[in-house]
Amino acid sequence: NAGVTQTPKFRVLKTGQSMTLLCAQDMNHEYMYWYRQDPGMGLRLIHYSVGEGTTAKGEVPDGYNVSRLKKQNFLLGLESAAPSQTSVYFCASSYWGRGGNQPQHFGDGTRLSIL
């Protein structure tokens, strides 16, 4: 049981390039999230999904797109990378259980640098 797996772990891009970050969870969780964390700050929510085929914007969605074609995968896309998107990206998932939405499980992060 791997939990939440993020791919890749590190990446360096040039301004204007595009890429996709992959998040996979094997816990059959309904909810999945993408956060970014900048140095010395807490995590900020980019986009989230409450189920297969559905996505919604979080606190800082500009410049990113997401897709949830399969329940276990949540993809984060950067269409035209900008230096301001240099950050550590974390994916998380959670399930709906007794009492409501249960605590989130996080991946180990993707460290992305945009030059």
Partner 1 sequence: DAKTTQPTSMDCAEGRAANLPCNHSTISGNEYVYWYRQIHSQGPQYIIHGLKNNETNEMASLIITEDRKSSTLILPHATLRDTAVYYCIVRAQTGANNLFFGTGTRLTVIP
Residues of this chain that interact with partner 1 (CB under 8 A) are 4, 31, 33, 35, 40-45, 48, 50, 56, 58-59, 88, 90, 92, 94, 99-109
Q: How far is the CB of 86 from partner 1 (least distance, A)?
A: 14
Q: How far is the CB of 69 from partner 1 (least distance, A)?
A: 19
Q: How far is the CB of 81 from partner 1 (least distance, A)?
A: 21
Identify each DSSP E strand in the chain by its residue range.
4-7, 10-13, 19-25, 31-37, 43-51, 54-57, 65-67, 73-78, 87-94, 96-97, 100-101, 105-106, 110-114
Q: Are 87 and 76 in contact (CB under 8 A)?
A: no
Cβ nearer to partner 1, comparing 42 with 69: 42
Cβ nearer to partner 1, comparing 58 with 77: 58
Cβ nearer to partner 1, comparing 37 with 65: 37
